[in-house]
Amino acid sequence: MDFQAIRVDSFPIDSELTDTGNVGPDLSAATHAYLATPRALVWRMPSPDWSLFLLLLPLASRLSLMANPIFGQLTRDWGHSIRFIGVDRHQCIYDFRSLLTDATLRRLVASLARWLHDDETHDGLPMRAAETATLDVLFAALGENMLTILEARRDDWGAHLAREHRLEPQAPGSLFDRPSRYPDFMAQLHQALRQELIDVAFYGKVLRSIDLREAAAEGRIAALLEGTLEPVTLVKLGRSRAGQHLGCYNWLLTGQGHAAQRAYVLGKLPAFAQFFAETLINAQARPRSGLVAAAEHNRRAALLRPDDAREALRQAIDSGQDRWVIEALSAHFGVEHNVLRALWRHCPTALDAPPTWHLKEILLRLNELPERAWPRDDRQWLDLASRAVPTLAE
């Protein structure tokens, strides 16, 4: 098991940010946590079944509190911002965040606390942040713990195939959620500005350094993930106008010979990307050792249910027949065929890839309008999408 921690780069402004006499003790302490907290913990080849484990971490600025069992809820709240990504030997990508138990979170907090709060420093950072060998010792147990959890839930892996998030940094729905990553650091930065401990010019330099270093770290993590995924499927996904949508990547990869047809439909209807990922990914799409017979039985059983709406839609898309796809989608959403035909000819990019419930409401709104009354530019499409919410939510 090869372990790596990905941290942000150092900048010249860091020496001023960590100077207590210059920015005050609160911002200085928050800066130390910001610089030392790894953005990702990476385990390469943790087992024969897995080629990569990746933990995306928020800022560990309250470790002294989270290490106390009294503040268990604080640890759980912090854990909500963690992303536990796995890539298996078949190159499918998973989101196992829901499997992180309280015990695993406590183990993670204890490991980070030992690392970040070491008394010895090197270039302003804890020695443990600079010594890969020490990191292997600290986090090997955490990797083994995650493997134990997954092995106990082996039959449930398919239910955790990634169905949302994009690999592109800063894209809508990106895997890298910056606002939830370092809110405490930004709060201390804003407070220092209000208290005039720093001026506006210095504040602007700090924000610029944050953007640069976070973008660099996200780029390294994205490149690492992309390097473990199936390249031909990524090319098909890139040509589909849906972007690097992880759910659609899994949908294409598990197509079992129908990836080209699925990519073609996705290219015609990129706004349906989240719907396709949420609705059509088969939880048992990739048989694994010890489960081959069960997976094949489930696949054959699914084909024997012609009344199953999802299976009918999946078969229509995999057929590669435009008319069948349009009719199946129209029936699924309960709208006229002409609505899907119009979107098939021109699917607006302004809609991006809304969740299934929102997409349905948008289609129902369009179904009520003649095509000549449809939005004509991005602003009008966004306005229609903002109004297309369920009645109870208005």
Residue given tokens 């994009």 in the structure block: 166
Give dist(CA 58, CA 33) in Å, integer. Answer: 11
Does 185 lie in the same domain as 238? no
Residues 342 and 251 in one domain: yes
Quick one: 194 and 316 in the same domain? no
Rounded CA-CA distance 115/3 in Å is: 15
- The last residue of a domain, from among 174, 209, 228: 228
Terminal C-alpha separation, the chain: 51
Q: Can you say how many angstroms the Cα of residue 96 is from the centroid of all Cα atoms in its chain? A: 11
User: What is the CB neighbour count within 10 angstroms for residue 207?
Assistant: 12
Q: What is the DSSP string of 256-304?
A: SS-HHHHHHHHHH-GGGHHHHHHHH--TT-S--TT-HHHHHHHHHHHHT
Decide which of 228, 252, 272 is a domain's last residue: 228
- The answer on 164 and 63 residing in a single domain is yes
State how many domains the chain has.
2
Based on the domain organization, do 155 and 46 belong to the same domain?
Answer: yes
pLDDT 10s digit of each residue in the chain, 394 long? 688 889 899 999 999 999 998 889 999 988 988 888 889 988 888 888 889 999 898 887 777 677 777 777 777 888 788 888 999 999 999 998 888 777 778 878 877 777 666 544 444 444 444 444 444 555 666 677 777 777 777 777 888 899 989 998 888 888 888 877 888 889 999 999 999 999 999 999 999 999 999 999 999 999 999 999 999 999 999 888 888 999 999 999 988 789 999 999 999 999 999 999 999 887 554 444 444 444 444 444 444 343 467 888 989 999 889 999 999 999 999 999 999 999 999 999 888 889 999 999 999 999 999 989 999 999 999 999 988 876 544 4
Tokens of 91: 């190159």
Half-sphere exposure of 32 (CA within 13 A, CB side): 23
Question: What b/e readout covers 338-348, taking b as 16+ CB neighbours within 10 angstroms?
Answer: ebbeebbeebb
The verdict on 211 and 258 lying in the same domain is: no
Q: Which domain holds residue 318?
A: 231-393
116: phi > 0 → left, psi -120 to 50 → alpha, else beta; which? Answer: alpha
Same domain, residue pair 108 and 182: yes
**In this structure, are 125 and 82 located in the same domain?**
yes
Q: State the pLDDT at residue 281.
A: 87
Is residue 55 located within the same domain as residue 203? yes
Question: Element (H or E) spanning 84, and its range?
Answer: strand 83-88
Q: Say whether both 297 and 371 belong to one domain.
A: yes
Helix runs in the chain, H state only: 14-17, 20-23, 25-36, 63-66, 72-79, 102-116, 127-130, 132-152, 183-194, 200-228, 231-238, 246-253, 259-268, 273-280, 292-303, 309-319, 322-333, 337-345, 356-368, 378-387
Q: Which residue has the tokens 């796995």?
A: 86
Q: Which amino acid is at 77?
A: D
7 and 91 in a single domain? The answer is yes
DSSP one-letter string for 158-175: GGGB--S-BSSTTSTTBS
Closest CA to 273 of 299, 244, 295: 244
Dihedral in degrees, nearest 10, Cα atoms 67, 69, 73, 76: 50
Residue that terminates a domain, selected from 181, 212, 228: 228
In a 13 Å sphere around the CA of 141, the CA atoms on its Cβ side amount to 13
Q: Angle, nearest 10°, between helix axes 183-194 and 25-36?
A: 150
- Looking at the structure, tell me whether residues 253 and 138 fall in a common domain: no
User: Is residue 27 within 8 Å of residue 192, measured between CB atoms?
Assistant: yes
Question: Quick one: pLDDT at residue 263?
Answer: 93
